[in-house]
Every structure is written in C-alpha cells, then in structure tokens.
Amino acid sequence: MESLYAAQAIRMVQILGLPRRLSAHRIQREVEIRVWWTTWMMDTWTSASMGIPRQLGTEPDYETPMEEMSFDRLDQNPEISVNYEIEQGGNSPREMGLWTQMIPLTTIMGEIHILNKKAVSTSGHRLQILEEVKQLSFKLDYWLSCLPESLHNTVENLERYAKQGLGRTFAALHFGYHYHAQLLYYQFLHRASEPCSRQDSSGLDDRSGSLLAHKYAARCKKHASELSSLMWITNTTPGLECLWPINGHLLVIASSVHLHTILFEEDASLLTAARCMLEHNFMMLQQMQKYWPCLEFSTSRLNAFHRACQDSMLESFDMDDWMLNFLQEYAMPVSDRFGGFGTEFGGTPESWSPTQFSELHRELMTAVPTRGGLGDLLNRVS
C-alpha cells in the first residue's frame, strides 16, 4: 500500500508542475514546497524498499522548506515578496529548517544504496568501492559539520524542539543520519571479523585492509548505538514517542549490528551495552506492534537473520544479494539466507502471534552476558 500511495503522490505533483509552478500566495507556496520535498523523500525511500528506480529528480535551484517556526508564523498576506527573507532580517534562513537538512541526507542515502549494489555486483573492483565509501563518509561528516549547533543531537536541543512541538521531527532527522551511516559501513562488519589471510583482494595488504575494516566497522557500531539510544529516549518520553512503521526496520538493522558485537566482541563492557540496547530494541518493536501489525514483517526479517547466525556465524554479515535485501529492500520478503522462504516458527509474518515474537526475543537474549553466546543460538552455530 505504501508504494501505491507514493506512486499516486508522485503523479499528482507531476500534474501540478511542482516545484516549478509555485503559488504567489506566501502560505500556499510554502505548502507546495513542503509537499514536493515530502513526495521526493517518499519516492527515494519507497523505491529503495522495493528495489525499483526512482521517479523524481532534483535541481540545485529548487526552493527548500522554510524553517518550521517561521512557517508557523506566516501571516495571511496574499502576495509573497521576492525579498521576503531579506526583509525579515535573515533571522530564520531556510538552512535552519529540519526538513531542509533532511534533503542532503536523503540524497546521500540514494548514493549509498547505489554503492551497496556495486559492492555486491563488482567484487573484483574493491579499490573503487573503498574510494566511494571514503567519499560518502566525507559527505556524511561534512553534513554533520555544517549542521547548525541548534540542530545537533543534544538533550538540550531535543527538549527545546519538543517544547515547540517538533521533537519527533528533530529525532527523525538524526534517525536518518545514523541509519544511512550504518548502511554505508555495514559491509565492513564481515571483513572486520575475518582472519587477515581472508581479507578481500582490494589491493591493500592484509594489515592495512584489516585496520580499515575495523575502523569502518567501529563507526557502524557507533551509529547503531546512537540510533538505538535516541529511539529509546524518545519512546520512553511522553509526547516524544516515534512509533512510525519504518522505525521497525531501523531497529532491526541496528539490532543486527548489536548482534555482531555480541558474537565477536571480547570487551565485557561493550557486550553488556550491546545486550542492553538489543533488549530495548525488542521492547520498542513490541510496543510498535500494538499500533502497526505490519511490524511483524520487520520482526520476521530479524528472525531470518537470527537463523542465518545459527547456520554460519561468520558468513551471516557478508555483503551479498541477501544482505542487500535485508538492509535496503525492507518492503520485500527475505528468505532464509542458507535455505528457502519461511519462518522458524512456521506461517507467514502476518500470522505471527505475540508468543512467537517473545520466543524469538528469548532465543536472542538468553545467556548474552558472557561471550559464551546467545544462549541456544550459539550452541548450534557452525
């Protein structure tokens, strides 16, 4: 249904001629700008979720959304002044807007999706892939460095935006940042777990390749931790709960990163932290299922990942077609990695009961405090 709604919205903005044909009415104009960029973001996300091409493109001269509080304060003057923002003293430039800052992040997300497809299909050109990872890593770092201080992910900023009724939008901006970074660095979890003799043929010596893999894998884990922590803060703060269906997918990806820590990390403090975040993620998934039965689809994907770890602990994090589906094409079914379609508990994801969800939770969480493993899971791992 999401893709059908997105397709309808895309066709409507095309018929309206947005964003080239904008109203002369100040408020209507800003609404049209917001409608256009919201539809463009929807196109980017839904296309990725289905593994299909995007329909909408952008140009550098497209106007971006006005800062949110300035938009709320717009009066009913029917005519827009070309020099409106200059006349206002430039106190609220468009660059200060939460939605405006999401635009470059969404652009980078599209580039990361293309890169991951290349990583799967062109395994013989590792130097090119590594160079593109470096470039996209720089873009993410540059985005963060250019972010106004008032938009940084701090407790003070979150509280301030929450008082303005924009706490969830503020959180969504940073959810996106940490999720996109995980997608960029995820492929290095597998390489960081390999013996040096099995490092890929990237043209780097074993030591250099291993150091680079560990560097990027550590970044992936840091972003997974930041996302899980922020989502836990919002979902345990009245009035800030972020219970959108897409967050189920974000929690599943972050949880799989925490599982990597539990499976391969030696540091007891990191193991404890990963276990705690995994527990919190399960609690949030269970809470979201009360509102969105479709979240069972997300938990079925985590279950498939769990079974992959049972079959082959090391190969479960390899960047291949299965992993590409798991990470990016979240609206598509995922098969057993080393088998066929189905679920461990039987039935389709839509038929899962709370008891089956709790069983998956128990299997992943049992006996996690020590590196001995994930309880029953690691007793059966190959």
Residues 228 and 366 in one domain: yes
Residues 192 and 47 in one domain: no
Both tokens of 276, joined, read 């705690």
Residues 66 and 147 in one domain: no
Rounded to whole angstroms, how far apart are CA atoms 339 and 308? 9
Residues 257 and 122 in one domain: yes
Place of tokens 């770890």: 309
Residues 238 and 149 in one domain: yes
Both tokens of 81, joined, read 């002044």
For the segment 279-297, what is each residue's pLDDT rounded down to a tens digit? Answer: 999 999 999 989 988 888 8
What's the pLDDT score for residue 127? 87
Residues 230 and 349 in one domain: yes
> What's the 3-state SS for 187-212?
HHHHHHHCCHHHCCCCCCCHHHHHHH
Of 68, 96, 124, the residue that ends a domain is: 96
Residues 173 and 89 in one domain: no
What's the pLDDT score for residue 311? 85
Mean pLDDT (the chain, rounded):
84
Residues 298 and 330 in one domain: yes
Residues 73 and 116 in one domain: no
pLDDT confidence tier of residue 112, bands split at 50, 70 and 90: very high
Domain residue limits at 297: 100-379
Residues 147 and 212 in one domain: yes
Question: Nearest 5°: phi and psi at 343?
Answer: -130, 155
- Find, among 182, 156, 291, the residue nearest to 235 by Cα: 291
What stretches of 169-306 adopt beta strand conformation (E)? none
Number of domains making up the chain: 2
Of 75, 96, 117, the residue that ends a domain is: 96
| Residue 303 contacts residue 343 (beta carbons within 8 Å) | yes
Residues 280 and 138 in one domain: yes
Helices 295-311 and 321-328 pack at an angle, to 10 degrees, of: 150
For the segment 50-109, what is each residue's pLDDT rounded down to a tens digit? Answer: 888 899 999 989 999 999 998 888 876 555 554 555 444 444 578 889 999 999 999 999
Residues 27 and 156 in one domain: no
Please give the residue that has the higher pLDDT: either 362 or 45.
45
For the segment 126-144, what is each residue's pLDDT rounded down to a tens digit? Answer: 888 999 999 999 999 999 9
Of 96, 127, 153, the residue that ends a domain is: 96
